[in-house]
Structure 1
């Protein structure tokens, strides 16, 4: 193989290898849900594959929580809440401990298929609710 032919071969092989590796890595990152000043999750509903991570980003000037509705998640699924609480009652009892401050993030990885309903404790009455459907 001449120098020019070899370089061309290596360039093509490198592109093919990079494409194969990228295909193995799957999704480029978490699905993002914004927490907004108008007291909403945007988007309100997302759909992800099992094993995917959803990241909530507080773009508001006030604190928000991300709290699973314990009776509205799959029976075999893990409860989730900002602040790391194990139960919905614990999250409600220490709402301050679960607040995601302005500019901060909270993420959760969804392992089981089903629909997960969640809400912001201080703004639930204002309609700050959302859902994640896991395929």
Structure 2
């Protein structure tokens, strides 16, 4: 067997063996939004009402998922990792005890019922621009999503 023939045969097996190892993150792929060192991926996600979104910390950094309380739709349930009822409580607990911290491999879920846009952020990386948006719409196919 020559070198090219060997590489053609071994190439796919080598790539399969590395699945989940690249990027240093978790091999868990059953999530909607991942977290890199300072970004949510994707930054924007569109879902139908009643959808449960799962965030997974796929990085080695500690993160939070914290809704901008005054910017979510009227009547919508507030959400924050750590189970806080307000944005201020989430911020206060992060500052005093790192409450709501999601470490590598930790996840957070929230079910979205009310139509509209839900901007959120990571408390320790907000200044670095770690923000995202969940758009709840009857037709998520037409909503713009972004990396």
Please classify the TM superposition score into its range, dividing by the shorter chain length.
Answer: 0.7 to 0.9
Partner of 1:34: 34
Q: Higher helix proportion, which one?
A: 1
- Secondary structure of the 2:126 match is helix
Q: Which structure: larger Rg?
A: 1
Q: Which runs of 5+ in 1 are unaligned?
A: 1-29
Partner of 1:11: none
Q: Within 1, Cα distance between the matches of 2:31 and 2:115?
A: 16
Q: Any conservation in 2 of the 1:31–1:53 contact (CA below 8 Å)?
A: no
Aligned length: 105
Deviation of the 1:75 alpha carbon: 1.1
Name segments (4+ residues, structure 1) moved above 6 Å.
none
Q: State TM-score, norm by structure 2.
A: 0.70
Does residue 109 (structure 1) correspond to residue 111 (structure 2)? The answer is yes
Partner of 1:92: 91
- Secondary structure of the 1:94 match is helix
- Secondary structure of the 2:135 match is strand
Q: State TM-score, norm by structure 1.
A: 0.76
Across the aligned residues of Structure 1 and Structure 2, the Cα RMSD in angstroms comes to 1.1
